[in-house]
Amino acid sequence: MSLKILITGKPGVGKTTCLLNIIEKFGREKCVGFYTEEIRENGERVGFDCTTLDGTRCRMSDIKFDTNSRVGRYGVDIKSFDNVVIPYFEKEMDSNKIFVIDEIGPIELMSNQFFKIVEDIIKGDKTLFGIIFQKEHEKVDLIKKWEISE
């Protein structure tokens, strides 16, 4: 039996901290996924890094990125995100590990490959603990309506 838990909430309420506590509770070796961290300069949020549980890290968005792929004021480096996250998830899709995702939101969902992986996890027999974007967003709203496999 698989379990799917998606939480949402406003920025700063402790969603990522909750996810990191789940990882600690079950043990990093029993989980597969990533968490995001705000990048701050002079007290201002300027971007986000993504870190997989095997320790690979990438800058996935930054106000300084000069790209047409944008979410708000952040340029998004979809290629960097895909190069780190997609192979990592693909090699673990046959495992029985707990999938942890921080977060399923507009930046991450710019990757069509990531959208497909999320679909496979949610509609499949995987256990998932994830954070999902709170506000309305076309792809997020679709995910929230998906039927979860039993």
Q: What is the CATH number of the domain that holds 87?
A: 3.40.50.300
3-state class (DSSP) for residue 134: coil
pTM summary value: 0.91
Percent of the chain clearing pLDDT 90 (strictly above): 91
Check pLDDT > 80 for residue 1: no
- Domain membership of residue 110 (yes or no) is no
Q: How many domains does the chain have?
A: 1
- Domain membership of residue 49 (yes or no) is yes
Which residues, 6+ apart, have CB-to-CB distance to 79 below 8 Å?
Answer: none
Give me the sign of the Cα torsion angle 10, 125, 93, 142.
Answer: negative
3-state class (DSSP) for residue 54: coil
Confidence bin at 46 (pLDDT 50/70/90): very high
What is the rounded average pLDDT of the residues 141-145?
90
52-77 tens-digit pLDDT: 999 999 999 999 999 999 999 999 99
